[in-house]
Amino acid sequence: MEIVYLLNSGFAVRLSRTLLVFDDYLDPARAVERLLGEVDRAYFFVSHAHFDHFDAHILEYAPSVTRYFMAEEIRRTKRGKRFPAEKTVYLANYSSHEEDGVRVDTFSSTDTGTSFLVEVAGRRIFHAGDFNWWHWKGDTEENNKLARNGFMKQMKKLDGLCADVAFFPVDGRLEEFADIGAKEFCARTKIKALVTMHSVGYPAWQPAADFFEEGCAVPHWTPTEPGEMRCWTVEGGFTR
């Protein structure tokens, strides 16, 4: 599995001759353009309509795209309406779609839109979108309680989820609360590797000694520069 960081929550994942592109709103390194020339099938995923997750420039790739999978909310946007109907599938939360050996399951978010679990070529990839425990310093106690309750409610749907690689927010703007959502997510799921995201401009995250439960640590990677690439295998974890 080859993983390339685009920006913010944007990633491209290549599995042999299949390419998965998540939340590509900006790709300064032009990685997607390169990767499209190396694959036979390309699937684009858009978790929600926020500008830092969805930009209509991905429409330029339409001739090479097999399918666009988009959160249902995007159907109503001006940008979304520009995409070819024959290549676009809008998915509501907690729905599934399967075609040509690719299965997509969706879950909800604690912000807007959806999160994706994609299975292809025997690998399972989870992309959280903006699903996270958004605890903001300086916010009211009531709002932070609502944020916690919303996150825990959605985690009940994700308990025991299995994935080879999970992309999950660790946002430096939350300061000491940046990774509380990721920590809970890792404790309650069965993932084999963690890639953190949604932290533009902050130093690479490193987990505290107690981040992973005892005996449950997994390889992790926090990219900081667009175009950074890692290869991932079950045996070797992340390698350059």
Sequence spans of domains, the chain: 2-239
Q: Which amino acid is at 139?
A: D
**What is d(CA 99, CA 102) in angstroms, rounded to the nearest whole number?**
5
C-beta of residue 110 within 8 angstroms of C-beta of residue 97: no
pLDDT of residue 118: 98
What predicted TM-score, i.e. pTM, was given to this entire model?
0.98
Residue of 50, 48, 58 whose CA lies nearest to 20: 58
Contacts of 104 (CB under 8 A, 6+ apart): 45, 69, 91, 96, 97, 98, 116, 117, 118, 119
Share of the chain above pLDDT 90, in %: 100
Residue 103 — pLDDT band, cuts 50, 70, 90?
very high
* Confidence category of residue 156, pLDDT binned at 50, 70, 90: very high
**φ and ψ of 217, to 5 deg:** -65, 145
CATH for 2-239 is 3.60.15.10
